[in-house]
A and B are shown apart, each in its own frame.
Chain A
């Protein structure tokens, strides 16, 4: 489990590693540790799965991915683990979660984020998920973001184009 030192290291790195030649030393100095301790603990946390990866975090929207769709699917509960894992492995999917339904207004229990530079690219990704789910897809919807109201400040997204559901 995490102790306070681990938490402090995570806290200190969430705004980003410093762009200086010895970034771990800079974090260590802030926390009264040595650079070796910081690297060692980051390494352990990565091996434990507490940290998923260490690296550059790209901003999809800024890189031209303007069609960011939250695809949502109604999958029978007995297939959710198997199919969720398959969808999560698609290389264009950036998040994939099982969440509860909220009937009657919300029948969907699988969420996957897709990112396209064009509507057509996003549609193709959605079609691939549709094909993969096959007969176990009991219904779906795609929610495009039209405005980012809080993330890194306020910015306006692209209008969504046609919502499409390929079930």
Chain B
């Protein structure tokens, strides 16, 4: 997909929340926007296929189902990829980023309960031989209404 159409942009900005809970939601969106259900389905399929959206669906705040922690490690650059691969191999790890800092490896671990969470991080410490700084979420201040995207040049 080379360029976003008006329909793509409307779907991106107007349907991050309040996606219809109805028998034919894409038809309802189509009626609101004055297009056809097929056009809405095609446009969402294109956004999905090009990676502009990762999915359409319910967004669950962290710690509402299971428990999570942000974990940071300080790993020498030459070893970073190898260590990151060991960490990413755990199914409980869902984000893993290299960041520009003395703590250069940051990942999120999500587990069913606190005990399981702790055992996954313990295991990662043993496998990698680097200490893991554990930063569980104490409070979530974010009221998620979607993110206002600037799509002027998209």
Given contacts A88-B142, A91-B148, A99-B137, contact A54 B57 (CB under 8 A): yes
**Chain B neighbourhood of A20, CB < 8 A:** 41
Minimum Cβ distance to chain B for residue A70 (Å):
7
Kindly list chain B residues whose C-beta atoms are within 8 Å of the C-beta of A55. 15-19, 56, 59, 146
Size range of the chain B interface in the assembly:
35 or more
Q: By DSSP majority rule, is chain A's interface helix, strand, loop, or mixed?
A: mixed
**Is the CB of B127 closer than 8 A to any CB of chain A?**
no
Contact partners of A146 in chain B: CB under 8 A: 98-100
A42 within 8 A of B: yes
* Stretch among A122-130, A132-140, A149-157 lining the B interface: A149-157
Interface residues of chain B: helix, strand, loop or mixed (majority): mixed
Whether B101 and A141, one on each chain, are in contact in the complex, defined by CB atoms closer than 8 angstroms, is yes
Q: Is the CB of A16 within 8 A of B135?
A: no
Task: Say how far B153's CB is from chain A's closest CB, in angstroms.
Answer: 7
What does the 1/0 interface line of B117-146 toward A look like (CB < 8 Å)?
A: 000000000000000011111111111111
Determine the chain A residues whose CB is within 8 A of the CB of B23 once the complex forms: 22, 24-25, 35
Interface size class of A (residues with CB under 8 A): 35 or more
B24, B56, B136: the one contacting A57 at CB < 8 Å is B56
B51→A59 contact, CB < 8 A: yes
- CB-contacts of B26-65 with A (<8 A): 26-27, 37, 41, 44-45, 47-48, 50-61, 64-65
6 shortest interchain CB distances as A-B pairs = A16-B55, A88-B141, A150-B96, A98-B139, A84-B141, A150-B88
